[in-house]
Structure 1
């Protein structure tokens, strides 16, 4: 009988869903997050330029270490740009998938 009660407690639905407008300052928080995202994208553009220059310099000078670091920087910047640019879509996708869990 105790196992059945524990299972029923796990299936309890608390009824919590995201609600816009529940707390003050939501618009300010959205503006802050958007600004941080924009700042990150601008920083990635600069880092991508530097990584590309290091890659080119390493290739032309014969410095294999600099070339490898430049390639690594380009890949990291590209991945970071993908994540920052798609952050809203990624969160929306997984949030929608989470609502389907029963």
Structure 2
């Protein structure tokens, strides 16, 4: 009987859903997150430019280690820009996917 009670407790739906405007300061928090996202994108642009310069310098000077590090930097900064730009969509997708779990 103890196992059945545990399963019933796990299946209990508390009925909690995200609500907009539940706490004061939500608009300020949204502005801060938007600013941090923009700062990250601008940083990714700078990292991409620096990494591309290292890649080119390594290629033309024969520095294979610098060339490899430049390539890695380009890929990492491009991936970071992709994730930062898609942050809202990624979170919204997984949030909507999470609401379908019963």
Residues 21-54 of structure 1 show CA distances to partners (whole Å, capped at 9, x for unaligned) of 1000000000000000000100110110000000
Shift of 1:58: 0.2
CA distance in 2, matches of 1:94, 1:70: 33
In 1, distance between residues paired with 2:2 and 2:63?
Answer: 68
What is the distance in 1 between the residues matched to 2:31 and 2:66? Answer: 39
Cα distance in 2 for partners of 1:88, 1:34 equals 10
Identify the residue that residue 34 of structure 1 maps to in structure 2: 34
User: CA–CA distance in 2 between the matches of 1:87 and 1:17?
Assistant: 21
Displacement of 1:2 in angstroms is 1.0
Aligned length: 102
- Partner in structure 2 of residue 54 of structure 1: 54
TM-score (norm 1): 0.99
Give the Å deviation of 1:71. Answer: 0.1
- Cα shift readout 1:71-90 (whole Å, capped 9, x = no counterpart): 00000001100110000000
User: Unaligned regions of 5+ residues in structure 2, if any?
Assistant: none
Off by >3 Å, runs of 4+ in structure 1: none
After TM superposition, the score normalised by the length of structure 2 is 0.99
Unaligned 5+ residue runs, structure 1? Answer: none
Provide the C-alpha distance between the structure 1 equivalents of 2:3 and 2:47, rounded to a whole number of angstroms: 56
Q: Secondary structure of the equivalent of 1:60?
A: helix
